[in-house]
Amino acid sequence: MRDYQEQHKRRLSYMPWLYYRLKPKHLAWAKPWQDALQQELCELETITLGENVFIAPGAQLFAEPGRDIVIGDNTFIAADTVIHGPVTLGAGVSINHHCTLDGGRAGITIGDNSRLAPYCHLFAFNHGTDPERLIREQPVSSQGITLKQDVWLGSHTGVTDGVTLGVGAVVGMNSVVTRDLAAGAKVAGNPARIIGER
């Protein structure tokens, strides 16, 4: 018979919000598991963690010096997510499974209580396209990406470099955000266009 704790660790890795609902008998093994994982990660990478954070063991966080990752209180990062700093996550942020965040040089900042559904991808850099040069030889630019507080990105949303999403913005599934969004804007499509307001 399979070990229940190992199966539950897998469940938590893909549904990390359940970590915050664990009964004391389960928290008794889950918290030391998380503490050990997070301690090792902080010893290997330039990461600062708030209180009550959950990081799935299958998440890949890379934060060399100068490309720090800062994670606020009560924030979770699900399995198969890749984060390359500089990235700052506020408090109460949820990063669901298979998201990719690359901060480029300028960084990604995600405000408190924002939600990224599975398979979102945010890249805070871009390549030149000069026809006289190979793509691999093109210069790289980076302006940064900012999501203000209480932003929700639907599954498979992409956000391009240089974009700011205002407080409470909502982006529909399979959208690509290429321009700044006002507070409370609801958008969808590729490129994302206004479909309403909250």
Long-range contacts, stretch 178-185, CB < 8 angstroms, 24+ apart:
183/148
pLDDT recorded at residue 4: 83
The CATH number assigned to the domain holding 59 equals 2.160.10.10
pLDDT tens sequence across 145-188: 999 999 999 999 999 999 999 999 999 999 999 999 999 999 99
pLDDT recorded at residue 111: 98
pLDDT recorded at residue 1: 42
Expressed as residue numbers, the domain containing 10 is 4-197
Residue 2 predicted with pLDDT over 70: no
Residue 32 predicted with pLDDT over 90: yes
Give the C-alpha separation, 118 to 77, whole Å.
11
Question: For the whole model, what pTM was predicted?
Answer: 0.95
Instruction: Identify the band that residue 90 occupies on the pLDDT scale cut at 50, 70 and 90.
Output: very high
Q: How many domains does the chain have?
A: 1
Q: How many CB atoms lie within 10 A of CB 6?
A: 9
